[in-house]
Amino acid sequence: MKTLHKFHGGVHPPEHKAESNGLPIAAAPLPRRLVVPLRQHIGAPARAVVKVGDRVLKGQMIGAADGFISAAVHAPTSGIVSAVDLHAVPHPSALPDLCITIEADGEERWIEHQPLDYLAAGRDAVRARLRDFGVVGLGGAVFPTSVKLDPCALKIGTLVLNGAECEPWITSDDRLMRERAAEIVEGIKIMTHLVQPEQVLIGIENNKPEAVAAMRTACRDTGFQVMAVPTQYPGGGEKQLIQVLTGKEVPSGGRPANIGVLCANTGTAYTVHRAVNHGEPVISRVVTVTGNVEKPQNFEVLIGTPIGEVVQLAGGAKTGTSHYILGGPMMGFDLNNLATPLAKAVNCVIAASPALFPPKPAAVPCIRCGQCAQVCPCSLQPMELFWFSQSRNFDKARGYNLFDCIECGCCSYVCPSHIPLVSYYRFAKSEIAAQEREKRAAEQAKARFEFKQLREEREKAEKAARFAEKAAAAKATAGAEGEDPAAAAKKAAIQAAVERAKAKKAEAAAQAAGQCDVTPMAAVETPAESLSPCPLPPTGEGDLEPLRDGSLNPTESP
């Protein structure tokens, strides 16, 4: 057994695991309507490939991956597409996003299942299967698994499977490992085939002895090592678990691949197995429903099910429920719209009450106690980041490695001044991201402007070159005829002026003729000598007569 290591900081909040981990996973009933967000992963949202009125089958692709970092989404049941529009989605911003609404027909008709022999198929085909079947990280980051398992990345020496589940209240991975350990291991084998690691380590917190035992039994004769790690929040963080299992620390601003490690969630491994070995896309996930509900339990729920119906699976919320939390209490966010659909990233719904989650006292000024720095698992200086974020000194915040913060909430948890530190860090990150977008837009506009200038200068130079070429040709022609080039040019200019004058005079005469109301000569019997022509208005120019010096002399019009 490998030696375990420690990471800096961490806290021990009340676990509240026993409320929901005693009962097996239950299958949720089919909802009448499902709302499937097209953005359920990091990267580009999926592109809708169905329209209103289309009939779809269970497991049918309704949103295709649209970019390298993207993943497809699928119909959780058979039915008719009733809308493709904006709808509330599970996100801290509470902003709507594009979703596909399906009215279930109750028939649950599946697409044809097409398992893939991953040993015979090429690795590219397996990754394409994962992308097209919507497999993403189910540990919270929802990063497309097909990209994470790309062999073009750095050499992977260690594959880490994260079964720590360190957040309080959440037990979905615990129950999944207890009940479906063999299927998780089959998924790990597929991942191992793709990245070819030297070793596979499975980390599970030691407060889940049943899950540890089940996984060790399933991993027998595989060479995979199941390791019970100390229970400490946030021991389930990717960088923290890697440090505990391998002793390696991910560098600031780097990724685990930079040190030859790849980390994935055990729930993700399960969906890899279902997608490859059974031809089933990700249309459901295990969700913990707990807190102030009648019967806390884990349920396998279809993606797109309204959160309000998910809460009803546990008997509904008890009296006194004030709001709902999606995710854990440390890294989750409040939700007040129960029409919000379940997405792939949602692993827990907590019905909160003042008894379980007392209102936080009002924040008071920082007393510089330093407790936040002592518990920070990333070895940051949270009080400095707070001051820089509060004063909008974002350059300084970046200099203090703001983006190394995993927003675990340890600093806010121990702060005696009750300052919502993580909220300030999220604000600073969003503002920096907005500035980066504006900077990129300005650079693109500058590049377009410079290209326009370059194009105009090129066209001007080409025009000048054409004129020079024509002038050279005219000079050559004049030289061949024995005529002075200067005189020839002056003569050509005079002739052009004469032609312009004649044209203007003819145009003026035509306009004057149109203004005169004269009966045609052939239609009257009046003597010709009694007729007087309609006077023409002055043209303003006379005939041009060249002088001796070559200039033009206007003469009187007749």
- What H or E segment, with its residue span, contains residue 487? helix 485-515
User: Which of 495 and 391 is assigned the larger pLDDT?
Assistant: 391
Phi-psi region of 129 (alpha: psi -120 to 50; beta: other; left: phi over 0): alpha
**pLDDT higher than threshold 50 for residue 502:** yes
Q: Which amino acid is at 137?
A: G
What pLDDT was estimated at residue 151? 65
First to last CA, the chain: 118
Mean pLDDT along residues 200-213:
96
Mean pLDDT along residues 118-138:
94
Average pLDDT for the chain: 88
Angle at CA of residue 108, ends 103 and 112, nearest 5°: 120
Instruction: Please tell me whether the overall predicted TM-score, pTM, comes out greater than 0.75 for this model.
Output: yes
- Percent of the chain with pLDDT strictly greater than 90: 76
Mean pLDDT along residues 136-147:
90
Q: What are phi and psi of 93, to 5 degrees?
A: -75, -20
What pLDDT was estimated at residue 323? 93
Beta-carbon contacts of residue 108 (< 8 Å; ≥ 6 apart) = 30, 58, 77, 78
Model confidence at 108, in pLDDT bands (50, 70, 90)?
Answer: very high
Q: Considering only CA atoms, which of 157, 167, 176, 139 is closest in space to residue 42?
A: 139
Q: Which amino acid is at 325?
A: I
Give the 3-state DSSP-derived string for 102-126, with helices as H, strands as E and coil as C.
Answer: EEECCCCCECCCCCCCCCCCCHHHH
What pLDDT was estimated at residue 483? 58
- Percent of the chain with pLDDT strictly greater than 70: 89
What pLDDT was estimated at residue 475? 74
CA–CA distance, 334 with 198 (Å, rounded to integer): 42
What pLDDT was estimated at residue 465? 87
- What H or E segment, with its residue span, contains residue 217? helix 209-218
What pLDDT was estimated at residue 546? 42
What pLDDT was estimated at residue 349? 97
Mean pLDDT along residues 97-118:
95
Which two tokens mark 365? 């000024």
What pLDDT was estimated at residue 507? 81
Q: What are phi and psi of 186, to 5 degrees?
A: -60, -40
What pLDDT was estimated at residue 497? 81
pLDDT digits (tens, 9 = 90+) for 268-317: 999 999 999 999 999 999 999 999 999 999 999 999 999 999 999 999 99
Beta-carbon contacts of residue 118 (< 8 Å; ≥ 6 apart) = 126, 190, 193, 276, 277
pLDDT digits (tens, 9 = 90+) for 62-75: 999 998 999 999 99
pLDDT digits (tens, 9 = 90+) for 394-413: 999 999 999 999 999 999 99
Which two tokens mark 363? 């924040």
Angle at CA of residue 211, ends 260 and 195, nearest 5°: 25
Residues 123/194, Cβ–Cβ less than 8 Å: yes
pLDDT digits (tens, 9 = 90+) for 143-179: 999 999 986 657 899 999 999 999 999 999 999 999 9
Residues 82/52, Cβ–Cβ less than 8 Å: yes
Q: What does the chain come to in residues?
A: 558
Mean pLDDT along residues 200-210:
96
Q: What residue ranges define each of the domains in the chain, with the CATH number in brackets?
A: 26-352 (3.40.50.11540), 363-469 (no CATH)
**pLDDT higher than threshold 90 for residue 454:** yes
Residues 382/376, Cβ–Cβ less than 8 Å: yes
Helix axes 382-390 and 421-481, enclosed angle (nearest 10): 60
What pLDDT was estimated at residue 558? 37
